[in-house]
Structure 1
Amino acid sequence: MVTGLVLALSASVLWGTADFAGGRLSRHLPLLIVVTCSQGAGLVALLIVLLVRGGVQPAAAGWGTVAGVLSVGSVACLYRALAIGTMSVIAPIVATSAVVPVLVGLATGERPGPAAGAGIVLALAGVVLASRQQAYHPPADHRLSVLLAVAAAVCAGGQLVALQRAGSIDALSGVGASRAVSVSIFVLVLLFARTRAPVRALPAAAVVGVLDTAANLAYTLASTRALLSLSAVSASLYPVVTIALARALLHERLRPLQVTGAVLVMAGVLLIASR
């Protein structure tokens, strides 16, 4: 149980760091380049590990394929929502993606204790508050952006469930298949888009990909060592990590609502860990 929570929190730190680094990189490079190169680097790292270890579990790869398709769906819906909507509305909706594995866990018989249950509620509420951003422009299409944000949250939550199912068989095979599917789709899009970037920027994108892939692997392993509902919520605290890094390294100011959210997240983690 403790090992699972440590792995899940490690996934949060890795995802949050990858999002921060990827976001900064996307200010100078086309987003499609960053996503494709970073995920491609993660796939190469996984393939090396799989070759050294030897053997791929087909059943785990099947769940990984589902996770990969859902990952692409989540990214596509999220970026389209951000393009036509308002971040202050979109980000909190997408941050609730952990609700999906929580509901799946409860439906399949998981019963977190009272303290852990309260921790789940506090952590989710904290992530939503911490993810809120100041809106400066009205949305171009509010209703559609909200629907896309909900779709992104559902896909992201479904991805967490699929990775958990893959991890129960073989984590490396599952995450490897997931990454192979998403990279293949992004490469096809990149070829049609004909987007380019300087070669010297690619190593930075590779670092982002390794961090993101390590986060996926850490979560997948965590979900097999702790309840799905608890590991998914603990691994979904990455927006707080991204915000903390932005505050520490870029000196971005936190609004009172975001500080409140961070406090709720920490309280939720402590309650979950006390289970």
Structure 2
Amino acid sequence: MTGGVLLALLTSALYGVGDFVGGLVSRRRPLTSVLFVAQTAAVVLLVPRGVGALEHASASSLAWGALAGAGVALGMAGLFRGLAIGTMGVVAPISALSVVIPVLAGVLSGERFGLLVAFGLVVAVAGAVLASGPERRRGGDRASLQPVVMAVLAAVGFGIAQLAIARGSATGVTATVFCANLVTWVLYAGAAALRRAPVRMRGWDLVGALGVGAAGVGATLAFGTASRAGALTVVAVLAALYPAITAVLGWRLLGEHLRGIQRAGVVAVLAGVALIAGGA
């Protein structure tokens, strides 16, 4: 495996665990509180290197970073809300369709790859779709549809963020990631202020929210570095395979039911990873 592939898989692992923990905490705590605490942890972790990086950052890195921050804010809000009210094994895979945006951008910019990688990409994305459903109806059509809508919003936000981070990282990984996290933090702080609700987190919920922030920082830095080491089309797909981890954790630790078609989707995702890694 190349360094870009390994970093992209690390991105997926960190996102998968972070999303599971974040969705779990969001079932007990207000969404704005979870997002704000997690993002505060992310910014604090990035400050030592981020401040210096901003001083020497290019206008391009800052602009792409700001766009990525807005995308992350939309994506995380949609994802955590969907995970809190829906089945993790359904919501997470739908959000992984975010990969369509950076992959299309990569193809339009002239990136090419071999037949094995192309087949792996198709298998992986198809697996994410299969793993997404059908969702069990709980409380009628409206209750069943809302988590899916949230997951689609998450996919759009994450897709924009992935593309922006990859473009900004071309001139500065740390500056782009730090700027993105600052913008996301400002948006979450504004949302918390508008709700006029105190941010109260304690015990394991606080530990979980802080862990989500740390995992997000690690995943974003790994993705930015991976986008410099490999083709965006391949890196983006591998980084978007986190739903398999979130779904398995929800199944094993929360007892969530996965239908046969969903289990087949998870297997397809893993098979796609193997094909891409073999041909990259």
TM interval, short-chain normalised? 0.7 to 0.9
**In the alignment, what sits opposite 1:244?**
248
**In the alignment, what sits opposite 2:21?**
21
Residues 65 and 165 in structure 2, CA contact (< 8 A), matched pair in contact too: yes
CA RMSD of aligned residues (A): 2.9
| 3-state DSSP of counterpart to 1:274 | helix
**Offset of residue 156 of structure 1:** 1.8
Choose which of 195, 199, 216 in structure 1 pairs with 2:197. 195
**In the alignment, what sits opposite 1:96?**
97
Residues 87 and 135 in structure 1, CA contact (< 8 A), matched pair in contact too: no
Q: Which moved more, 1:64-73 or 1:31-40?
A: 64-73
| 3-state DSSP of counterpart to 1:223 | helix
Could you give the per-residue CA deviations for residues 112-170 of structure 1, whole angstroms, max 9, x where no partner exists?
11110010010011112223332323333999987775554233212111000111111
**In the alignment, what sits opposite 1:140?**
142
The separation in 2 between residues aligned to 1:77 and 1:258, in whole angstroms, is 21
Evaluate the alpha carbon distance shift between residue 203 and residue 82 of structure 1 in structure 2; reply closer, same or farther with a 3 A threshold: closer
Counterpart check, 1:124 vs 2:128 = no
**In the alignment, what sits opposite 2:219?**
215
TM-score relative to the length of structure 2: 0.86
- Sequence identity, in percent? 37
**In the alignment, what sits opposite 1:112?**
113
**Offset of residue 191 of structure 1:** 1.3
The separation in 2 between residues aligned to 1:156 and 1:64, in whole angstroms, is 13
| 3-state DSSP of counterpart to 1:245 | helix
Evaluate the alpha carbon distance shift between residue 258 and residue 85 of structure 1 in structure 2; reply closer, same or farther with a 3 A threshold: closer
**In the alignment, what sits opposite 1:261?**
265
**Offset of residue 84 of structure 1:** 10
Residues 102 and 229 in structure 1, CA contact (< 8 A), matched pair in contact too: yes
**In the alignment, what sits opposite 1:164?**
166
Residues 11 and 219 in structure 2, CA contact (< 8 A), matched pair in contact too: yes
Structure 2 residue runs of 5 or longer lacking an equivalent are none
Residues 61 and 176 in structure 1, CA contact (< 8 A), matched pair in contact too: no
The separation in 1 between residues aligned to 2:259 and 2:148, in whole angstroms, is 23
**Offset of residue 21 of structure 1:** 0.9
How many residues align? The count is 275
**Offset of residue 203 of structure 1:** 3.3
Q: Which moved more, 1:154-163 or 1:78-87?
A: 78-87
**In the alignment, what sits opposite 1:42?**
42
The separation in 2 between residues aligned to 1:271 and 1:89, in whole angstroms, is 24
Structure 1 residue runs of 5 or longer lacking an equivalent are none
Could you give the per-residue CA deviations for residues 24-78 of structure 1, whole angstroms, max 9, x where no partner exists?
2112211111111001101110112335778441331221111011222334555
Evaluate the alpha carbon distance shift between residue 46 and residue 97 of structure 1 in structure 2; reply closer, same or farther with a 3 A threshold: same
The separation in 1 between residues aligned to 2:202 and 2:26, in whole angstroms, is 15
